[in-house]
Amino acid sequence: MSDYSTNNDFENILERLLANIDDSLDKRQGSIIYDALAPAAAELAQCYIALDVYSDQTYLLNAVGENLDNRVKDYGLTRNPATPAQKIINVYDTENRLMTVDIGTRFSIPNEHGGYAYRIIEELRTGEYIGECETAGSVGNQYIGDLLPLVSINNLGQALIVGDEKPGEDEESDEELRARAIQKINQEAFAGNKAAYIKMVNDIDGVTKCKVFPVWNGGGTVKVAIIAANNTLPSAEFVETVQTLIDPIENQGEGLGLAPIGHTVTVVSPTELDIDIEATLTIETGYDLEQVQSAVEQAITEYINEVQSNWSEDDNLIVYNSKLIASILSVSQVKNVSNLTINNQTGDLTIEITGTNVVFPILGEVVLNED
């Protein structure tokens, strides 16, 4: 916070106002002069508090919400809106043969899975379609399975989601937008340099973060690893879509995509690296392991999410033993943590990421024992 209000609280303002009044006049509390100046001092104090907040919101590192939206416009950026998930939908007739339906036909997933509706927007081939979720955001990403028709379709036997075309994304958060603005300030994108690739790939709908490996397999080669919404690995279909946008596989290096001529780009999904955690807990009297297990697992998950957030920038991620212990101890019912191992080893776990070893850490098995 700035310091506009530090010396401008009610008492200080009133003291300065009264100091401007001749001492020969009655300025004691309860006097006419005091009672006339006190409300003005109170209002001025509120103005200084508001000015303090307003000033704080003019800085990129502090601004939130609409103030952050306005701040990043100085750098030519706008907040990425929520985008709808697109799924591959197969439609069969009563004899289990792929059948044709009209563009615009609507289906929904069962209510117990959210009841979200999907609209057919493109035919891939007879009976195989791209359906777009009518609710923007990552909510449309999770479901695979049977669909229910929302309109009457003659001879319909079954419709089902069989795969992903493009994951939906939630609206860009304040922290994501702030990080993107800082990255743009610190890294100038120019003519196929690494910063240009990062911007190019992150601007593709469905990509939430990427990692670029220049000359990973000799001169002119570039490997790009991508992550989809909610720190999930992208589907094979989405990787293929991004590959085609960046550097079509049939004509690699010819500049027919977004990549410069002469750059052979390989788009991949990282390999999941399970982070298995085991620990022994000493629990407060009156509680047992079953009562605290969920809270402890949530604390561990939040720390692994923090590690994942550094994946784009760091080639060596470290899962710190001490930070895991601190996360577990943040659960008030846990008194102590001992015998903590990460992937069956004591101490910190270092994850090296290279062009030939592109991994992404995810939380694996969590085993908690009670002391």
Query: Each residue of 88-114: pLDDT tens digit?
Result: 999 999 999 999 999 999 999 999 988
Residues forming a β-bridge with 89 = 129, 161
The rounded distance, in Å, linking the Cα atoms of 349 and 156 is: 53
Task: Supply 370's token pair.
Answer: 């009670």
Residue with tokens 């379609």: 129
SS3 120: strand
pLDDT at 58: 84
* Maximum CA extent, the chain: 103
CATH node for 187-268? 3.30.300
SS3 96: coil
Share of the chain above pLDDT 70, in %: 97
Q: What is the mean pLDDT of the chain?
A: 91
Task: Supply 197's token pair.
Answer: 């690739």
The rounded distance, in Å, linking the Cα atoms of 88 and 344 is: 40
The rounded distance, in Å, linking the Cα atoms of 34 and 14 is: 9
Reported as a pLDDT band with limits 50, 70 and 90, residue 50 is confident
What's the DSSP call for residue 231? G
- Rg over CA atoms, the chain: 29
Residue 111 φ/ψ, nearest 5 degrees:
-60, -35
Q: Is the pLDDT of residue 362 over 90?
A: yes
Residue 155 φ/ψ, nearest 5 degrees:
70, 20
pLDDT at 6: 67
| Residue 301: half-sphere exposure toward Cβ, Cα within 13 Å | 9
The rounded distance, in Å, linking the Cα atoms of 330 and 27 is: 53
Every domain of the chain and the residues it spans: 10-56, 86-166, 187-268, 273-370
Q: Is the pLDDT of residue 166 over 60?
A: yes
Asked whether the beta carbons of 174 and 68 are under 8 A apart, the reply is yes
**Which amino acid does the sequence have at 87?**
K
The reported pTM is: 0.63
Residue 196 φ/ψ, nearest 5 degrees:
-65, -40
Task: Supply 248's token pair.
Answer: 């079509």
Asked whether the beta carbons of 148 and 177 are under 8 A apart, the reply is no
The rounded distance, in Å, linking the Cα atoms of 129 and 115 is: 20
Q: Is the pLDDT of residue 5 over 60?
A: no
Q: Is the pLDDT of residue 350 over 90?
A: yes
Task: Supply 313's token pair.
Answer: 């920038």
pLDDT at 119: 97
Q: What is the DSSP string of 254-307?
A: SS-SSSPTT-EEEEEPPEEEEEEEEEEEEE-TT--HHHHHHHHHHHHHHHHHHH
User: 325: phi > 0 → left, psi -120 to 50 → alpha, else beta; which?
Assistant: alpha
- Which residues are within 8 A (CB) of 28 and not within 5 positions of it... i.e. 6 or more apart? 34
pLDDT at 95: 94
The rounded distance, in Å, linking the Cα atoms of 348 and 321 is: 5
SS3 133: strand
pLDDT at 184: 81
Range 62-91 average pLDDT: 92
Report how far apart the first and last C-alpha atoms of the chain are (Å, whole number).
45
List pLDDT tens digits, range 262-291. Answer: 999 999 999 999 999 999 999 999 888 989
- Which residues are within 8 A (CB) of 186 and not within 5 positions of it... i.e. 6 or more apart? none
pLDDT at 51: 84
